[in-house]
Amino acid sequence: MTVARVTEIISSSTESFDDAVRQGIRRASKTLKNVRGAWVEGQKVICDGQGHIVEFRVILKVSFVLEN
């Protein structure tokens, strides 16, 4: 029997939402073993005072399989 767990992380990038997702998965994989997938729960941008996007943020639900 396989048992999986889901954890929520927030990741950011100055480049794009796609890059924020990639960085989040890369970082989660350093701490969590057996990362199997993730889905984007939410997205947000941070703007400077002049309406320019300075940061892209994603809320990720990361699933990983627990070891026996």
pTM, two decimals, is 0.88
Q: Residue 11 phi/psi, 5° resolution? A: -130, 150
Of the candidates 34, 44, 42, which has an alpha carbon nearest to the alpha carbon of residue 6? 34
pLDDT, one tens digit per residue, over 16-63 is 999 999 999 999 999 999 999 999 999 999 999 999 999 999 999 999
- Which two tokens mark 29? 């994989």
Separation of alpha carbons 13 and 17, rounded Å = 7
Backbone angles phi, psi at 30, to 5 degrees: -75, -30
